[in-house]
Structure 1
């Protein structure tokens, strides 16, 4: 049963992404169920190379699984699909338009997230009125080819500056084997993609990450 998406966002520590760059269409539902079983707090559907029609068809299978699990469903990039799938949130990159433009399309209730790659962009997203941000990539990652890792020097400052107002999810190359470093750098919330989706047991991997995040306080 879905709790209030805003409360779920406020409480969230681990943001999961069903990235179709790592999971085949045939395995998408199975991977989603495993991510949810393991305990992700939010789940985004990201399919950079898919057609909108194909994303919509998959979204019709994924969104109900999230609703059933009480986990907010996030649509990446496409406001029209977010509306059609009754998503709880829409995530926008730096080049995906303004908050005002998105609000005109999706209304006032849907949560809006923004990708940010510097402290300046993080602060701007807060000023613009986004509900949460992704901050990174901390490490180089195949998910963002050509974008260098920004490192962890600014994590604590962004958390102290922006993270006290809206959730800041560190992202980019974060894995179970470097998560302790990321937490030590000041992160309270993270996005992990490939390390979860390529794990032999996705649900167990998710549970491991949640245990580490929750025990860090």
Structure 2
């Protein structure tokens, strides 16, 4: 599956201000999101499974890519398009063995060295961050606020798509794209917005403008 990585939503119901994750995803889809990743830290595996099934239907109907954070088993169970892995998750090759050659397998990295290792292991794309300060994810000090400069270094070092993540908004997304990212991933910028659909549209427009796309 070929994925357009421009605008990438990572779900987290605890930041949705009382709205359901399904409602946030519906609004993001209406606003033009390209990728939805089921995250939901703090939810049980069963809860993520049932939510994943619902989001899989929403995204399939809209032709939006759907990935699962961390859990290869849940990605397989809900027929997601793939999985996004961190340092403590299964290795890329093991995820590929479970999900098959057609699955999208992403990997979080914060340095050029880690990026090269992930690509050598077979990652299809990289999430690079935290670009800016964020409280949406626990980040080790050395991986916090790595800046567009590190995004640019990673972009120069690898030949797979990269997505900037961490503290990204419509205001600073152009800097991340201009540094070499193919897209930006956000949690709060959409999930906590007063109007998630409008926020998605604004972010997508910022990305398109920075790319020089119509």
Query: How far 1:50 moved relative to its partner?
Result: 0.9
Gaps of at least 5 residues in structure 2 are none
Aligned to 1:154, what secondary structure does the other structure show?
helix
Query: How far 1:42 moved relative to its partner?
Result: 0.8
Query: How far 1:25 moved relative to its partner?
Result: 7.8
Q: Deviations over 1:145-201 (max 9, x none)?
A: 353222222222211222xx2110010011123223333434331112111111111
Q: What's the TM-score once normalised by structure 1's chain length?
A: 0.89
Aligned to 1:199, what secondary structure does the other structure show?
coil
Aligned residues: 208
- Over the aligned positions, Cα root-mean-square deviation in angstroms equals 1.6
Q: What's the TM-score once normalised by structure 2's chain length?
A: 0.91
Report the counterpart of residue 172 of structure 1 in structure 2: 166
Report the counterpart of residue 112 of structure 2 in structure 1: 119
Are 1:195 and 2:189 counterparts? yes
More displaced stretch, 113-122 vs 178-187: 178-187
Select which of 151, 154, 157 maps to 1:158.
154
Report the counterpart of residue 12 of structure 1 in structure 2: 5
Aligned to 2:132, what secondary structure does the other structure show?
coil
Select which of 19, 23, 26 maps to 1:30.
23
Query: How far 1:140 moved relative to its partner?
Result: 1.8
Q: Deviations over 1:65-98 (max 9, x none)?
A: 0000001110111111111100001111011021
Gaps of at least 5 residues in structure 1 are 1-5
Report the counterpart of residue 3 of structure 1 in structure 2: none
More displaced stretch, 117-126 vs 179-188: 179-188
Report the counterpart of residue 149 of structure 1 in structure 2: 145
Select which of 93, 104, 109 maps to 2:102.
109
Select which of 58, 61, 70 maps to 1:65.
58
Are 1:129 and 2:122 counterparts? yes
Select which of 72, 76, 98 maps to 2:91.
98
Q: 2 CA distance for matches of 1:114 and 1:189?
A: 14
